Amino acid sequence: MVDPEHTAPFPVFKTAANPSVTEPASTPEANDEPLLIDRARSGDLEAYDELIRRHQERIYGTVYHMTSNHEDANDLTQETFIKAFQALKSFKGGSSFYTWIYRIAVNKTINFLKLRKNRASMSLNDLDFNAENDPDLVALVSDKTPRRDAGLTELQEKLNEAMGKLSDVHRLVVTLHDVQGVPHEEIAQIMECNVGTVRSRLFYARQQLQGYLSDYLK
Amino acid sequence: MDQNEQNFDQLRQLLKLKRHEVPPPGYFNRLPAEIISEIRAEQRAGRDSVSRLATEAHWLMRLWGALEAKPLFGGAFGAAVCALILGALYLTEKPAERPTPMPLNASMASPFTASSPTTIDAQGVGSPLLLAATNLNNVVGPSLFDQAPTLQTAPVSHSPGN
């Protein structure tokens, strides 16, 4: 089943190292991935370095949007890749490597958030230069926003605060789908639940966010 | 679903802002190297502990080598260890020797059993049924009360003149 929302362009993480979020298996880079995995499994750290380069942005992005803290995201990303290297022998290829490593990252992050519960602190990354030129964001900040004086930085803080009010699983669904652009089916694989659950969680999370951010939405 | 998507259009536009949050410049160039060096450090630490074990416990490494070289020997060793554990478990679960119960005679055993004819055994020594069921030999014997010194009262004389 094709995700209708996924036909929309998602510029997120479409970098040279990571040209496609939605169809990693179809890229030329992804074709040699099994070979890289085999080499890494036998202890070749150069091969593993290449695997890290290919997936680091998505993994870091997911963890960062879940924690809203760069230092925590950095630690968890490193731990994820180290754990994945140690567990590489158990990777049988039943799912794609990136789904598998996503699952490690998500489990680590949710465990971390459970422990951090009462000492959450934001350490937000800066916005890149493109943010000011993004037509959607420009529209939100200027004409359409009731709070016309709200700048992008304020919006960023409010958005992260609102995300922080969601439960971990709801924040995860929003992060993976609306921020990272991962299709429902793959989120279901990552979260080990069915697609219906993903959709209902996404709907609920969006409703919650809309309520929290009503001042900043039309 | 389409209506839901339309309802959330603005929210999704706002969420796009998150995509513009980027880590410090050069972060993704440094991260792989940091992870690889961390993995190397862990591997070194693992090798160090193995080599330390090898230098400090020769016998253990020789045993390990022998177990690896001869699977049959390994299996026998494993079976022996299992047998040892099972034996230890059996011994720990075996009830300890019961303490010798206090010998009682018929007259002192119990106010309820002493008068009952069913508690008199063949030798004519009374013992409670419960005790008789556990160990008959131990209950036959003189009562402690028989050995106790008899407390006798001495008449006290009292003369009012003193």
Q: Is the ipTM reported for this complex over the cut 0.85? A: no
Residues B80 and B56 in one domain: yes
Which residue range(s) make up the domain with B83? 25-93
The answer to the question of residue B52 being in a domain is yes
Give B107-159 pLDDT, tens digit per residue: 554 455 444 444 444 444 444 444 444 454 555 556 666 665 656 666 666 66
Of A11, A85, A210, the CB nearest to B19: A11
Q: For chain A, give every domain's residue range.
A: 24-117, 147-218
Does domain A24-117 match CATH 1.10.1740.10?
yes
Q: How many domains does chain B have?
A: 2
Do B30 and B85 fall into the same domain?
Answer: yes
Residue A69, beta-bridge partner list: A123
**pTM of the full predicted structure?**
0.62
Which tens digits make up the pLDDT trace of A27-69? 656 678 899 999 999 999 999 999 999 999 999 999 999 999 9
Surface of A (111-150) touching B: CB under 8 A: 124-128, 130-131, 134, 136-137, 139-140, 144
By Cβ distance, the residue of A4, A82, A127 closest to B35 is A82
Residue B107 sits at φ, ψ, to 5 deg, of -75, -25
- Is B60 found in the same domain as B108? no
- Chain centroid, CA A36 distance in Å: 23
Note whether residue B31 is domain-resident: yes
Tokens 């339309």: give the residue: B6
Q: Inform me whether the C-beta atom of residue B37 falls under 8 Å from chain A C-beta atoms.
A: no
| Distance to chain A for B45, nearest Cα, Å | 14
B81 plus B126 within the same structural domain: no
Judge if B109 and B74 occupy the same domain. Answer: no
Is B108 in the same domain as B49?
A: no
Encode pLDDT of A95-151 as tens digits.
Answer: 889 899 999 999 999 999 988 776 667 677 777 767 777 777 666 666 555 554 467
CATH entry 1.10.10.10 includes domain A147-218: yes
Q: What is the DSSP string of chain A?
A: ---GGGGS---TT-SSS---SS-GGGSHHHHTHHHHHHHHHTT-HHHHHHHHHHHHHHHHHHHHHHH-BHHHHHHHHHHHHHHHHHTGGG--SSS-HHHHHHHHHHHHHHHHHHHHGGG---BPPEEPGGGGG-HHHHHHHTTS-SSTT--HHHHHHHHHHHHHHS-HHHHHHHIIIIIT---HHHHHHHHTS-HHHHHHHHHHHHHHHHHHTGGG--
Q: Do B28 and A56 count as a contact with CB atoms less than 8 A apart?
A: yes
